[in-house]
Amino acid sequence: MSSIITKSYFTLPETKIVPAPPEDTDTVVIGVYKNELRQSKDINKISEKIKDIFYICEKANFDGDSGKFLYILNKPIIVLVGLGDRKESDIFWSRENIRRASALGCTEARKLGAESVTLCGFEEKVREALEGAFIGLYRFKKYSKHEHEREKEVKKLFLVSDKNSEKIAEFVRIVCEAQNFARDIINEPGNVINPSTLAEIGSAIAQEYGLFCEIFGVEEMKKMGMHGVLAVGQGSAVPPKFVHIWYKPEEIKSSIKIALIGKAITFDSGGLSIKTNQNMQHMKADKSGACAILAAMKAIAQIKPNIQVHGIYATCENMPSGTAQRVDDIIKMMNGKTVEVVNTDAEGRLTLADAISFANKLGVSKILDMATLTGACMVALGEFTAGIMGNSDEFKRLIFETGLEVGDKMWILPFDKDMEEKIKSPVADLKNAGDSYGGAITAGMFLSEFVEKGIDWCHIDIAGPAFVKKKIGCYTVEGATGFGVRTAVELVKKIQIQNQ
């Protein structure tokens, strides 16, 4: 099977918005808010057939709380799922509860052999209900023959809604398919996805979805002075590549241009500052930022916003070898600044810095980068929350709020002038790592040295949430989450609306 894919291996169910459950659906998933069983129209309807439904719920301790579910082997099968507190005041959780309920309902229905699932009771929460289903049903089955191999996939999904929601449904489908595509390429290991194949995937996406594309090899990068990327890539048998794909609206009514940059280390062994085996596990996911950006570009190509969007990633494999960069090496970066390499495992910032220098020259007003940059960010915020840093309070807030709405958990981390000396070098302009405190912040501050004045820039450190070691929330399988795809697409939509 070729690994150069442009669509997720996982096929989303055919989806339809319907006024009532179709006669022949084999499973009905009913969302119920906490302590609202008696008020639920759907449950009252069922109680005509299943007279003791309220008694069953009481006995099974099902009260509609988030995370709870109950199934009744009827025809059709009924799966009740808790939507949590209707008055939930936290923007993130009020929406996330819905996604999780839908994901839970759909995956439980699948376990029961359902091929056609109808979602009821999700009221106006069409977007979250579909997001939960599409993200929750995803599995990466390419290499495993587990029990789930025998489980059938849900082929048809119906969502009961009065709202005219076809447009929203189409949008959610595009974005979630893209997110699942990102998960597929992140889940592929380093012996399948290397800088060469990751660049080919970029080019295939551009071709399939009508985006512009340019890819630079080592010689071109040398000409442009991208020695950060070249230094990180020089230890690998597979040379680095620089990928730039961009979307231009057909009618250029708006001159707004933004850049989305992703960290694209196809495997991070640490280089000569080699990681321990335990820390090296899952370092295939060090390309998650680039995969999120690539997926967002694919979605943007289909949504066709009225702004120009540039997707950029410099892809390398960070390996130790006789040609690898050394500790103590001094690199002259694309923007002319010199960097002393004090740790070859702090490689992401070297590649991103040159990608930022490249973006500076495109005439963009905003740059957003996503990167699995530091373990320190996970120490600071836990493994499920990404860190937002940047040079504009307004832009940071916009990203934070977007994340809250779409379900990407993030928190803003501060830059600190008093920490600047941590990344100053006695032999060069900068060094590529600080000390053991505030590592996410010093990494972000390092990147800020490469952003040209006048550009709003945000950096999201996604080291934690890009990849989960056990299933959580609506990610019903361990592995890549596709964190950041929904945020990037929504951000582009918001910037377009702001500039209309």
Catalytic residues: 275, 349
Question: CB-wise, 348 or 473, nearer to ligand BES?
Answer: 348
Using the structure block, give the residue that is written with the tokens 């055919």.
Answer: 14
Q: How far is the CB of 344 from ligand BES (least distance, A)?
A: 8
439 lies in the site for Zn ion, by CB under 5 A: no
User: 463 contacts which partner out of ligand BES, Zn ion, none, CB within 5 to 8 A by kind?
Assistant: ligand BES
DSSP alpha helices (H): ranges in 266-416?
A: 277-280, 288-303, 348-360, 375-381, 393-406
Q: Name the residue nearer to ligand BES (CB basis): 177 or 347.
A: 347
Pick from ligand BES, Zn ion, none: which does 490 bind, CB < 5 to 8 A by kind? none
Q: Which 3-state string (H, E, C) describes 470-491?
A: CCECCECCCEECCCCHHHHHHH
Residue 317: name its binding partner from Zn ion, ligand BES, none (Cβ under 5 to 8 Å by kind): none
Does 343 sit near ligand BES (CB under 6 A)? yes
3-state secondary structure of 301: helix
Rounded CA separation 323/393 (Å) = 42
Nearer to ligand BES, 25 or 372 (CB): 372
Q: Work out how close the CB of 459 gets to ligand BES at its nearest, in angstroms, rounded to a whole number.
A: 14
Single residue of 42, 88, 128, 345 touching Zn ion by CB under 5 A: 345
Which residues, 6 or more positions from 210, have their beta carbon under 8 angstroms from its beta carbon? 301
Q: 365: closest CA among 308, 403, 412?
A: 308
- When asked if residue 374 is in the footprint of ligand BES (CB under 6 A), the reply is yes
Q: Provide, rounded to whole angstroms, the least separation between the CB of residue 286 and ligand BES.
A: 4
Contact of 67 with 18, CB cutoff 8 Å: no
Determine the residue type at 94: S
For ligand BES, give the closer residue by CB, 5 or 472: 472
Query: How many degrees, rounded to 5, is the angle at CA 423 between CA 421 and CA 424?
Result: 65
Return the DSSP state at 6. S
| Nearest residue (CB) to ligand BES, 93 versus 415 | 415
**Spatial separation of the C-alpha atoms in residues 74 and 25, rounded to whole Å:** 12
Residues between 4 and 33 with contacts to ligand BES, criterion CB under 6 A? none
- Strands in 252-346 per DSSP E: 257-262, 264-268, 308-318, 330-332, 338-340
Using the rule CB under 5 A, is 369 a contact of Zn ion? no
Is 348 near Zn ion (CB under 5 A)?
yes
Binding status of residue 490 toward Zn ion by CB under 5 A: no
Task: Decide: 495 and 395 in contact? Cβ < 8 Å.
Answer: no
286 binds Zn ion (CB under 5 A): yes
425 binds, among ligand BES, Zn ion, none (CB under 5 to 8 A by kind): none
Residue 496 touches which of Zn ion, ligand BES, none (Cβ within 5-8 Å per kind): none
Binding site for ligand BES (CB under 6 A): 268, 286, 343, 345-348, 372-376, 433, 439, 463
